[in-house]
Structure 1
Amino acid sequence: MSNIIRITAQGISTEELSHCAAVPPEAVILGEARETGAVHFGSDKVTIGTWECTPYAEILAYPNATEYTTVLSGRVAITDADGSVQEFGPGESYVLKSGFEGRFEVLETLRKIYVLIED
């Protein structure tokens, strides 16, 4: 078995994306999160995967984890606790540091590859 995991430019590895429910319903403040995803790698403290979701908004909090993301398609707007808003689109990346709390809004159906690192 290889120790190399290939992930395509579409965020596909050994499997297609399937229905998932990463967004807690109580966090949703606008729209409906219709999600698909795939986990490519998981260990005690690191998860790497692809996630796709239709437009919606939620209050997102990472009290004990950091997320690194590269956007493959779509657009997302992230509002920090200080009110500053940043938008990200295809080919752009962002990091939400441990302790982040703010608004996460999918503006156009979003597909991203993420690395979640728990503290």
Structure 2
Amino acid sequence: MIGRLNHVALVVPDLARAAARYRDALGAEVGPPVELPEHGVRVVFVTLPNTKVELLEPLGEGSPVAGFLEKNPSGGMHHVCYEVEDLGAARDRLVAAGARVLGSGEPRIGAHGKPVLFLHPKDFDGTLVELEQV
């Protein structure tokens, strides 16, 4: 059902500093910051030969990642994103197997302009999982 690893998301306390570290110290290709008010985050994608790293910072105090930074002030891994061919079918199969979809259960448009869903971390060994329609 799941396809390739699309990205690993890291919450960071300072997006500009983290982006510079990936660009300058690691020599990675770093995209421009993008604000996603509907998700409460500002993101930068670091492109690697086989996947991406998504750097996230809260966009305002109501951001869903603000609490993550309160618990982890230096930041850390937030979620992994896997591609799926049919997001609706993947959701239905997972729900039938007992997995919990976060939010309303309906896909929302993610940072790549494609529909996404998030799965409860308690159902996936403590890891928040994002599924993205390819």
Larger Rg: 2
Q: 1 or 2, which has the higher helix percentage?
A: 2
Give yes or no for TM over 0.5. no
TM score, norm. by length of structure 1: 0.29
TM score, norm. by length of structure 2: 0.27
Q: 1 or 2, which has the higher strand percentage?
A: 1
